[in-house]
A = this chain, B = another copy of it.
Amino acid sequence: MFRILSQSDAGNLGARRGQLVLKHGVVETPAFMPVGTAGTVKAATFDTVEAAGAEIVLANTYHLMLRPGGGLIRRLGGLHGFTGWRGPILTDSGGFQVMSLAQNRKLTEEGVQFRSHIDGAPYLLTPETAVELQFRDFGVDIGMCLDECTPYPADFPQARLSMELTHRWAKRGRAAYERLRAEEEPGAGAPAAVGAPAAAGAQFGIVQGGMYEDLRRQSAEFIGSLGFEGVACGGVSVGEPKAEMRRIVEVTAPLLPAGRPRYLMGVGRPDDLVHAVASGFDMFDCVLPTRAARHGLAYTRTGSITIKNSRYRDDPAPLDETCVCLACRRHSRAYLRHLFVLGEPSAAILLTQHNLTAILDLMHRIREALDNGCFADWARAFASSLEGKDS
């Protein structure tokens, strides 16, 4: 399900150009996945998400298991039938949201008991139920194994205990996935081979280990040994300083199985994306482009701008002269500022469309540079274009 088309051969970089071949389509990598938490991207419709260039979206198991629930989604044809999104979908396992949103949560060896943050109803999320929800009810292209997202800061013993729990859950999650596959495809045998038919939906494991290189190494080795179709680096972008995040990204990437997709969870600032691609990651998700849009922050090729700033009051230029999005083709900064200041819903709609287009265009340019064998040069030029700017 993963083809590496080329690898960066200059500047000692690990960047790869590839393709994910999934149930609902092919995704060119490095790829950014817009976040559609509850089966919808905030302030966007799937038509505009497609128009922005997205090939895959991410949805959240936690939110969807609470509302509308796995059973309803299954009855309506899985997440694709339910949401109307036609391309590939990746769901996270719900572990991260349980820890940040749920009430009265209780972490046990079995899994996480919690109460819905909406109506207090009790739930149990385990490595096994996460598999059932994602692969049986949602019918996703990629489902993530349940992990415990190690918080920041965590001292070494804490981070190790947390990582070890994630490892035990990974083993159970992988076994549950293999049982489900065997049930659904009798005769297919147990472990799914790398490059197995994508029809089944692929399962990704998650490496933890906090900010400790030793633990990251142990975790990458263990998770990498379980046969997952792809491996993610979790537990970054959880409040640590940027330099810490980058260190872990650089350390972890080369430890992950070379022939499988590597997914860096929760990272989405333009400069961080370029850095992570250079380190060898293939997939990314982040709420930042869409959340920033709703807060009036627009990406441009030379850094971001705060649209409510009075300097844009009568600025007839588009957000970014080079952008082809709906907002830039039709509207000025002055108009977008007007909409934002008035709190018009169209401000969020247009800025979301712009930021998604901008971030997906960035990925497109990254892929183009890789295709042309000039990624190292391109990345240097990109960095200097942002110098001194808040990207």
- Where the two chains meet, the residues of A that have a C-beta atom closer than 8 Å to any C-beta of B are 38-47, 67-68, 72, 75-77, 81-84, 313-314, 316, 326, 330-332, 334-335, 338-339, 341-342, 344-346, 348-350, 353
Contacts and interface: CB of A to CB of B under 8 A. Distances in A.
Nearest to A294: B345
A346 B36 CA distance: 11
5 contacts: A38-B344, A40-B346, A42-B346, A44-B345, A84-B332
A250 to B, nearest CB: 37
Copies in the complex: 2
Contacts of A338: 38-39, 67-68, 82
Given A72-B314, A313-B72, A346-B41, A84 B330 contact: yes
Contacts of A326: 45, 47
Contacts of A42: 344-346
A332 B67 contact: no
Contacts of A39: 335, 338
Contacts of A339: 38, 40
Contacts of A353: 45
A63 to B, nearest CB: 8
Contact of A45 (B68, B82, B349): B349
A45 B350 contact: yes
Contacts of A45: 326, 346, 349-350, 353
Contacts of A43: 345-346, 349
Contacts of A313: 68, 72
Contact of A345 (B334, B348, B350): B348
A345 B38 CA distance: 12
